[in-house]
């Protein structure tokens, strides 16, 4: 199951779900977490999607404080997910993010090295952190921009 932690990321999560389905040679499910912001408070309890007995990948563009990811991971676990992986392009990890991700509610945390995860010092968080190298993809995008190639084609399987 691919889960977006909010409705704003549904298109991103759907693209990831389609690509994952191609790689797995079977359809991956999808869902999203309800999220509202008001007065500096995040609310919304509904998890849309059947995650019971499944492995979940929560996909987002960035992680700042980690609150959205952890909130979604906890909802997935409460709904019966057997494994929860969190993935984001940029790991900023501000505030209490290091402590939050030490929580065993998330099995694995995957980011790209666009921002070094220097704020992650907790051994429990470091043990589950996977940092992917984005240099080759970025270099190819730059090459295509300068030679008139398609960056869009680069982003498809």
For 32-99, give the DSSP string. EE--EEETTEEE---EES--TTSEEEEEEEEESSSHHHHHHHHHHHHTT-SEEEEEEEEE---TTHHH
* Active-site option among 11, 15, 35, 83: 35
Q: Say which residues have a Cβ less than 8 Å from residue 38's Cβ, sequence separation at least 6.
A: none
pLDDT tens-digit map of 54-98: 999 999 999 999 999 999 999 999 999 999 999 999 999 999 999
| Strand 129-132, strand 41-43: pairing | unpaired
Active site residue 11: no
pLDDT in tens, 8-56: 999 999 999 999 999 999 999 999 998 777 776 666 778 999 999 999 9
Q: What is the pTM of this model?
A: 0.90
Q: Which CATH number is associated with domain 2-154? A: 3.40.50.2020
Are β-strands 129-132 and 108-112 bridged in parallel, bridged antiparallel, or unpaired? parallel
Please provide residue 3's backbone torsions phi and psi, each rounded to the nearest 5 degrees. -120, 130
What residues does each domain of the chain span? 2-154
């Amino acid at each position: 199951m691919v889960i977006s932690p909010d409705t704003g990321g549904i298109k991103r999560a759907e693209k990831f779900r389609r690509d994952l389905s191609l790689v797995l040679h079977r359809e991956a499910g999808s869902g999203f977490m309800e999220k509202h912001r008001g007065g500096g408070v995040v609310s919304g309890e509904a998890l849309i999607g059947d995650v019971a007995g499944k492995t979940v990948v929560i996909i987002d563009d960035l992680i700042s404080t980690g609150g959205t990811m952890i909130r979604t991971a906890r909802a997935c676990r409460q709904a019966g997910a057997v494994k929860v992986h969190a993935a984001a392009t940029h790991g900023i990890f501000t505030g209490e993010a290091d402590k939050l991700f030490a929580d065993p509610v998330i099995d694995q945390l995957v980011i790209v090295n666009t921002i070094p995860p220097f704020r992650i010092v907790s051994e429990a968080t470091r043990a589950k952190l996977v940092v992917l190298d984005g240099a080759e993809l970025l270099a190819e995008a730059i090459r295509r921009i300068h030679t008139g190639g398609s960056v869009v084609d680069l982003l498809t399987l």
